[in-house]
């Protein structure tokens, strides 16, 4: 999606732009200076090698002093604390984006885990990670020729995710059969999602293709889109 074209249209309509970059941060280029979203959010457990239960929210400066958070917590107020009197000393929202913090923000072990994962990926570089994963998905796409599945053309898909469509419907038990051979993919509304990450390599691609061709014999190459 071309957010640089979408964002001005959203603002012209008087709406706020909230961008969910769950499947982008860490692999695809994300620059809030270019798209200027009102809010941008992503969890750490998908593509930045972090833990469950931790997510990050970008809040444009124009909302930091007037936005009303969905979650009403003591942390989001300037002076609400059960350990001292008065309990409700100052109900005004905290300054800046801190008003949007989650309730149990002090779960510090997950914050440290998230930081380590993101720092490691930052050292490798987003462009290098994108190039590497795009190479693996291209290998997968080429290897799936002749298996009967349909794939979007390369220009219409993300560099790190393949969505396989089965013209006659996905064979029942296929995902489980692949798992039995040590190959793990995700069923999604009748399709199959393959999403390699930095811990995957060419040997993993070859293992998937061997198992897939073994389980889906006699396919026709004319069904291939990409």
Identity of the highest mean pLDDT range in 100-109, 127-136, 162-171 = 127-136
**Looking at residue 226, what is its pLDDT?**
44
- Is 19 a residue whose pLDDT tops 50? yes
Judged by DSSP in three states, 77 sits in: strand
User: Strands 39-43, 55-59: parallel, antiparallel or unpaired by DSSP?
Assistant: antiparallel
Helix ranges (DSSP H) in 13-125: 32-35, 108-124
**Looking at residue 218, what is its pLDDT?**
54
- 100 CB-contact burial (10 Å; exposed 0-12 / middle 13-18 / buried 19+): buried
In DSSP terms, 165 is beta-bridged to 150
- Is 222 a residue whose pLDDT tops 80? no
% of the chain at pLDDT higher than 70: 96
Mean pLDDT of 120-136: 97
**Looking at residue 67, what is its pLDDT?**
85
% of the chain at pLDDT higher than 90: 68
| Category of 148 on φ-ψ map: left (φ > 0), alpha (ψ -120 to 50) or beta | left
Mean pLDDT of 56-63: 94
Is residue 97 within 8 Å of residue 59, measured between CB atoms?
yes
Q: Which residue has the higher pLDDT, 49 or 146?
A: 49
Q: Which residue has the higher pLDDT, 225 or 72?
A: 72
Give residue-wise pLDDT tens across range 174-200.
999 999 999 999 999 999 999 999 999
- pTM assigned to the model: 0.84
């Amino acid at each position: 999606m071309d957010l640089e074209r979408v964002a001005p249209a959203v603002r012209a309509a008087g709406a706020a732009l909230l961008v969910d970059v769950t499947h982008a941060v860490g692999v695809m280029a994300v620059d809030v200076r270019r798209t200027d979203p009102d809010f941008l959010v992503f969890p750490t457990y998908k593509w930045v090698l972090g833990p469950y239960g931790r997510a990050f929210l970008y809040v444009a400066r124009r909302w930091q002093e007037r936005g009303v958070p969905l979650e009403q917590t003591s942390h989001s107020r300037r002076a609400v604390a059960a350990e001292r009197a008065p309990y409700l000393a100052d109900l005004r929202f905290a300054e800046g984006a801190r008003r949007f913090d989650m309730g149990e923000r002090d779960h510090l072990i997950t914050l440290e885990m998230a930081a380590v994962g993101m720092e490691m990926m930052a050292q490798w570089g987003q462009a290098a990670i994108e190039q590497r994963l795009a190479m693996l998905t291209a290998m997968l796409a080429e290897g799936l020729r002749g298996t009967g599945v349909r794939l979007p053309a390369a220009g219409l898909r993300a560099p790190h995710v393949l969505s396989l469509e089965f013209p006659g419907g996905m064979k029942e038990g296929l995902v489980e059969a692949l798992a039995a051979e040590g190959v793990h993919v995700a069923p999604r509304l009748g399709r199959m999602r393959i999403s390699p990450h930095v811990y995957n390599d060419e040997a993993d691609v070859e293992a998937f293709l061997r198992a897939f061709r073994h389980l889906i014999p006699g396919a026709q190459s004319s069904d291939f889109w990409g």
